[in-house]
Structures are given as structure tokens and as C-alpha cells.
Structure 1
Amino acid sequence: MPKFGITLPKMDDVFKSHPKPDVTKDLMAKYRLRAIDILQNIMPAKIIDIENLINQEKDSSSPFYTGQVFEAAYSAPKLIQPALIVDENENKGSGESSLTDKPIMPADITTCSTTGEEKPQDVRIGQHWFEVVKVNKNQMKCNEIVFKELEELHMLAQDLKVWLEMEIPVVEDGNSFGADVQAHLISQLTEAYKKSNTMQNGVRAHHGDRLKLATDWAKYPNFEDYAAAIANSDRFDHFLIRSFLRSILQLYAGLLTKFEKNWTKVINPKGTHETGGMY
């Protein structure tokens, strides 16, 4: 820190002489255009898209179909042991056999027959960790779609917040209702992307929940409750992902409605005739 004695730097002219006077104006122009596009085009289109996804609950070909939870992927998960697969066509004549890209039974869990000969296709008795529980492919499709929607919701809310923060007028006593409306909408945008983060964590938990149940099932394969636990977990996740679609719809519709109904106060918070050129 420089030492100035009793003389301190003056702050009066900070915003009169800074070297890049147009940086905030350029940013404002960019995000005003972005806000116009979001409010006029993107959000209404998103509402239609989310409604279409919700309507797919009645379509048997859709991953969001409510009847999916009665399919085998949700009702009958299985714990299987990978097998040693020999491809007899490959390396033909070389005297060697090759393995396919399917799961392989590692050599250290093979057993020996009564004659002492190793049989790689056999299964070791006791606890081991080489079983396979297949992923729920339908749920992964649902997760992929909703995760993408949540990411986009988060970014759209952030972009609107960047713009609206710059629209807040000079803080002064009196006539602050419009600024209060802006502050309220900023808090709503903040709440929207926080909720999107929470829902993303809910989507991510699908694999973590299955991982815990499947590893315990492999450790204690005689407990049939693990199959039911995974089935119930997957079924709940399918219900949860469809619930998230409704939450996303609610956030988009709520934000768009609040902006539309309070638009005058948003762009003209002091009630003057100068709107700042939003349109």
C-alpha cells in the first residue's frame, strides 16, 4: 500500500475519467437485445416445448409415458454375472481366442474344478464385486432431456438478471415503487435458477441411488429386497422427473407473466417518459 501521509486519493472523478466509459453501455445494449429475445421468443417457445413433453405422458412411445414404470426396466431389475465370451471368427487360425467388448469375468475370481483345471466361465463362491446391474436406459433418456431443460432455464434466468440489474435507477428517497418491482423480479430470477440447481441435483441423484443399492446387492446377493428397492427407486425417479417438468413450466409461466404484467414499472421505474430505449 502506498503511503500518502495526510493526503488521500480523491474519489470524486472516478466515473468522469475512467478509461473505458462505454463498457457498461455496450453491455446494456447487448443484454437489452438478449432480454427482448428471451421475453418475446425464447420463453414462450419453452412453455410450448415443456407442455409438449408433459403431454407425452399419454404417448406409449415416449420415455415420459406413465406406463413405463410397469415395464421390465422399472419393475424387474436383475443382478447378472458377466461371462467370458470367445469370438471364434476373429483371429481365426492364429490359435488365439479373443474377447468381445462385453463385460469380462476377471481371472482372479475363477474357480477350479475337482480335477484342478481352471474354468474361467465358473463363478467364485462368496462375496465379490463383478456383477452387473444394467442401467435404466429409459430413465437416462428422461434425465438427459430434463437436465438440458434445467441448464437452459438457469442460463436464461441469469441473462435476464444481468440485464435487469443494470436497469435499476438511481437510489433515492420517494417514488421507488418501480425499483421495488425490479428488485422483486430480480429475486424471482434468483429463485428460479436456484430451483433449477436443486432439480439438477435431484436428476443426478438417480445414478448415485442406484449405485449404492447395486453395490450392496452385489455384496449381499441373497437379499431379494435389493431388486425391489432399485425398482421402487427408478419408479420414484420417473415420477420425480415428470414433476420437474411441471416445475419448469411453472417457473417459465410465472416469470413471463410477472414481467408482462409489471412491464411499465420494469422499463420505467420512476414513472418518467424516458424508458431508456427498451423498444
Structure 2
Amino acid sequence: MNMHRIYRPSKQYHHHVYSHQERKVQDFKETFKSEGEMLVKSVFPRKIIELEDIHKSLSLDKLSEIHSVLNIPVPDPIILTDNGTDEPAAKKRKHDLQGTEVYSLPGGAVTINKKLCDISEQLKPYIRDLIDHSNTIKMWISFLIPKIEDGNNFGVSIQEETLGEARQVESDAATYLDQISRYFISRGKLVSKVAKYPHIDDYRQSVRELDEKEYFSLRLTSAELRNHYASLHDLIIKNMDKILKPRNANAETLY
């Protein structure tokens, strides 16, 4: 009777596959090590300068320029008449106060505030880059932390301090994207109120107030992005020797 032989990989084969995977993992770690140092020395300074220029361009003097006109007309007042019906006048007034059902607008779609939208689109790539860069810095420092040993841990404590700062920067940057999306949701709700109650000026004014608030928020975001890059760059550059070679660090204080 013919028997099918079961193929069992040899120990040499397992060793070869394991060695190949180990090399790939090591290459992966080395990529982070080289990229992290390059980011701090080359990319961070450029980002700081670019964001400083953006922040200066968002001056408070330009606040009056960011408002957009809502193309939602105020309808003519409704005159209550009997129209030959037996419906009580009080009930008719109640119906009229429910708001206007809006199916279409004379001017078409209600446009966004393009100036604020342009500023948001300008800042979003910087926000995404900061999230990505701080994540890279986290991995870079993590791979530089030596194995746990007794004593001579001052350099390691500096690494951990810098790692914590990178984590905080990544978390803060993620909230900036959420703030931008929440602005458009809030503005959409207010504009829908204007469309339903076009004769109430308070709703129109609330849209203007929200736009001004968003301009302040975007201006602050540009400053915070710049500050995050600057603080990370400053912390790492001042302590670069201890971050790269923590076991050689002398008993000095963290800058």
C-alpha cells in the first residue's frame, strides 16, 4: 500500500525563516532610528518656520475679513386671514410660528465659509504630519532604550521623559482634527436654523460669532503646532547625547 509521506520542514529551514524575519525586524528598527534623528535635525526646524509664517498671517486685524454672507433671504411677512375656513385664528398663528419648511432656497445651496475652510485645509496637513512625526519619535526613542539594568539609569530617565512628551504631543495634535470637524457640524446646525427661521436675526448672528470663534481657534492651533515642534526639537537637541547613548550619561540634570 502506498503511503503519502508527510513533509516536515527541517530545523535548518526553521532557522533560515527565523533568521530572515529577525533581519526584517532589525531593518524595521534601524529605519526608525535613522528617520527619527533626521526628523529632529532637518524636518522640525522647517516646520517651525513654516508654522510661524502661517501664524503671523492669521493676524487679528483680519478678523473682519473672514465673515461670509448667508444667501438665505428673509421672507415677506405672512398676513393672517380667514381664507374662508372655520379654523380658529389662534390655531393658524400657532402653525405659522412652527417655522418655515425649507425644500429649496432661491440662491441654491448655502455655501460654507470659504476663507475659514481654506485656513483649515492649510493647517490639516501640518496636524497630520505632527501626529505622524511624534509617533515616529516615540518609536525611535523606544528602540534606543537599553535593557533594564541596576544603576546608571539617568540617561534612561531622560529617554522616558522625552518619550512622554512625544506621547502628549501626539494626543494633543489628534484633538485639533476633531475641533475642525466639530466646527462644520456646529455651523451646519446653525445654518439650518437660519433656513428654518430666516426672520430671526439671532440665529444669523450666531453663525457670525461661531465663524469668529473658529478663526481664533485656527490661529491658536497654528501657534500650538509650532510650539509642539519647537518644544520637542529643543528637548531632544539639548539631550541628544543622552538619548542616543543613555548608559554613557553622567549624573547631570535634564535641561
Would you say same fold, with TM above 0.5? yes
Segments of 4+ moved more than 2 angstroms: 17-21, 64-69, 75-78, 129-133
Which of 211, 226, 249 matches 1:234? 211
Q: How big is each residue's C-alpha offset from its partner over 1:186-208, in whole Å with a ceiling of 9 and x where there is no partner?
A: 11111111101111111122211
The one-letter amino acid of 1:218's match is A
Which of 84, 97, 101 matches 1:127? 101
The CA deviation at 1:65 is 4.5
> Which residues of 2 match residues 62-77 of structure 1 at below 5 A?
64-71=58-65, 74=67, 76-77=69-70
Task: Confirm or deny that 1:160 pairs with 2:154.
Answer: no
Q: Do 2:47 and 2:229's aligned partners in 1 also have CA atoms closer than 8 Å?
A: yes
Which of 249, 256, 270 matches 2:226? 249
Match of 2:180 in 1: 203
Task: Confirm or deny that 1:145 pairs with 2:138.
Answer: no
**d(CA) in 2 for partners of 1:126 and 1:156?**
49
**d(CA) in 2 for partners of 1:268 and 1:258?**
16
Match of 1:84 in 2: none
Which of 191, 213, 223 matches 2:168? 191
Q: 1:243 to 1:229 in 2, by over 3 A?
A: same
The one-letter amino acid of 2:29's match is M
Q: 1:214 to 1:251 in 2, by over 3 A?
A: same
> Which residues of 2 match residues 1-279 of structure 1 at below 5 A?
18-19=18-19, 20-56=21-57, 64-71=58-65, 74=67, 76-80=69-73, 126-131=100-105, 132-271=109-248
The CA deviation at 1:69 is 2.6
Q: Do 2:100 and 2:197's aligned partners in 1 also have CA atoms closer than 8 Å?
A: no
The one-letter amino acid of 1:157's match is S
Match of 1:118 in 2: none
**d(CA) in 1 for partners of 2:69 and 2:127?**
30
Q: If each structure's helix is expressed as a fraction of its own residues, which one has the higher value? A: 2
**d(CA) in 2 for partners of 1:221 and 1:185?**
53
Q: 1:221 to 1:254 in 2, by over 3 A?
A: same
Percent identity of the aligned residues? 21
Q: Do 2:55 and 2:223's aligned partners in 1 also have CA atoms closer than 8 Å?
A: yes
Q: How many residues align?
A: 207
TM-score, with normalisation over the residues of structure 1?
A: 0.69
The CA deviation at 1:33 is 1.8
Q: Structure 1: where are the runs of 5+ without partners?
A: 1-14, 57-63, 82-124, 273-279
Q: 1:129 to 1:196 in 2, by over 3 A?
A: farther
**d(CA) in 2 for partners of 1:236 and 1:152?**
25
Q: Structure 2: where are the runs of 5+ without partners?
A: 1-14, 75-98, 250-255
Q: How big is each residue's C-alpha offset from its partner over 1:86-110, in whole Å with a ceiling of 9 and x where there is no partner?
A: xxxxxxxxxxxxxxxxxxxxxxxxx
**d(CA) in 1 for partners of 2:134 and 2:42?**
14
Q: Do 1:68 and 1:74's aligned partners in 2 also have CA atoms closer than 8 Å?
A: no
Q: Do 1:69 and 1:75's aligned partners in 2 also have CA atoms closer than 8 Å?
A: no
SS of equivalent residue, structure 2 residue 167:
helix
The CA deviation at 1:166 is 0.8
Match of 2:11 in 1: none
- Structure with larger RCO (C-alpha < 8 A, sep 6+): 2
The one-letter amino acid of 2:157's match is D
SS of equivalent residue, structure 2 residue 102:
coil
